């Protein structure tokens, strides 16, 4: 098992109550998320940048 630092962009146009689920689904594509944080929001593009530590 190894850990990796990744960044991902998440679309904010979806329903705000599903944001956590959308982030976790995106991170699960890269491995099992240990922790993550929203580090930036791009208002004009309606996207959020997420940084995470995942294990593979």
**Per residue in 1-56, pLDDT tens?**
899 999 999 998 877 788 999 999 999 999 999 999 999 999 999 999 999 999 99
Q: At a CB cut-off of 8 Å and minimum separation 6, what does 45 contact?
A: none
29 Cβ neighbours under 8 A, 6+ residues apart: none
The whole-number pLDDT of residue 54 equals 97
- pLDDT of 8 reads 95
Q: Where are the domains of the chain?
A: 3-55
The per-residue pLDDT for 35 is 97
The residues, ordered by sequence, that sit 6+ positions from 32 with a Cβ below 8 Å of its Cβ are 54, 55, 56
Burial class (CB in 10 A: 0-12, 13-18, 19+), 22: middle
């Amino acid at each position: 098992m190894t850990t990796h630092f990744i960044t991902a962009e998440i679309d904010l146009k979806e329903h705000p109550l599903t944001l956590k689920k959308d982030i976790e689904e995106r991170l699960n594509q890269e491995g099992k998320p240990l922790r993550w944080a929203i580090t930036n929001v791009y208002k004009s593009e309606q996207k959020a940048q997420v940084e995470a530590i995942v294990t593979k």
